[in-house]
Amino acid sequence: MTSTQQPHIRLDPVSDTDLPHIYRGLSDPRVVAYYGVSYDSLTACQAQMAWYAELTRTGRGAWHLIRDRHTGEPLGAIGYNDADPTHRRAELGYWLYPEHWGKGVMSAALRLWLPLTYRTSELHRLLAVVEEPNLPSARLLERAGFHYEGTARECERKGDGFISLRHYAILRSDLPASL
167-170: which pairs have CB atoms within 8 A and are 24 or more residues apart? 167/127, 167/128, 167/129, 167/130, 168/127, 168/128, 168/129, 168/130, 168/138, 168/141, 168/142, 169/125, 169/126, 169/127, 169/128, 170/114, 170/125, 170/126, 170/128, 170/144, 170/145, 170/146
Residue 36 has a pLDDT of: 86
Q: Select 4-174's CATH number: 3.30.365.10, 3.30.565.10, 3.40.630.30, 1.10.3720.10.
A: 3.40.630.30
Residue 1 has a pLDDT of: 44
Residue type, 25: G
Which of these, 66, 59, 60, lies nearest to 14 by C-alpha position? 66
pLDDT for 124-174, tens place per residue?
A: 999 999 999 999 999 999 999 999 999 999 999 999 999 999 999 999 999
Residue 85 and residue 59 in contact, taking contact as beta carbons nearer than 8 Å = yes
The rounded mean pLDDT for the chain is 94
**Residues in Cβ contact with 33 at an 8 Å cutoff, skipping those fewer than 6 apart:** none
pLDDT of 57 > 70? The answer is: yes
CA separation for the pair 134, 34 (Å, rounded):
7
Residue 12 and residue 65 in contact, taking contact as beta carbons nearer than 8 Å = yes
CA separation for the pair 65, 78 (Å, rounded):
7
Residue 176 has a pLDDT of: 76
CA separation for the pair 147, 134 (Å, rounded):
16
Strand blocks (E) in the chain: 4-5, 9-13, 62-68, 74-84, 89-96, 125-131, 147-158, 161-171
pLDDT for 63-101, tens place per residue?
A: 999 999 999 999 999 999 999 999 999 999 999 999 999
pLDDT of 178 > 80? The answer is: no
pLDDT for 12-39, tens place per residue?
A: 999 999 999 999 999 999 999 999 899 9
SS3 36: coil
